Amino acid sequence: MSHVKHRALVVLTCFCLAACAERGAPPTAPPIEMSARERAASKVHVDPAAAAAMISQYRKTYALGAVTPDPTLQKLAQAQADAMAAHNVLSHDIDGDLTQRFDAAHLVRATAVENVSAGYFSLADVIAGWRKSPPHNANLLSPKMQHLGIATAYAPGTRYLVYWALDMSN
């Protein structure tokens, strides 16, 4: 092979290898800046046992029985909170009414109630809000209630940011 052809082959190989060389990582998206309200909302979570204790203490002042967390009701409450957050709508009927949702979960409870809310950033605040609302308060104090599921869903970029659902049954 002639010296010129050899040199041309080396140069061509270098160009090919340079084209295959790893390029710098693509630029990353700039960090999303959150307001203090959004940051607080993103951290809102509820402990069902703490909720049951708080609601039971409130019910006790009216000589009513305690409520305990229930895993099936927990799943229903989470699905309701998630649906409201996904649609940015505060509604009892976003994924069917309460009876339809209980039937779909094969729950044969005689009595069930639901409280929904949005915009609260703590368990104490949402329960205080429900206590101030006569229909929601009636649900909290419904004598037949024995079990609950309670959940939150964070919805960034929405008006309320945090959606709550409480399902209780006997």
Pair 94, 168: CB distance under 8 Å: no
pLDDT tens-place string over residues 127-157? 999 999 999 999 999 999 999 999 999 999 8
Mean pLDDT of the residues in the chain: 83
Residue 140 to residues 47, 64, 88, 167, Cα–Cα distance (Å): 17, 10, 25, 10
- Name the more confident of 132 and 110: 132
pLDDT tens-place string over residues 38-76? 877 777 789 999 999 999 999 999 999 999 999 999 999
- Name the more confident of 27 and 128: 128
Pair 62, 141: CB distance under 8 Å: yes
The C-alpha atoms of residue 153 and residue 149 are separated, in whole angstroms, by 14
pLDDT band at 5 (very low <50, low <70, confident <90, very high): low
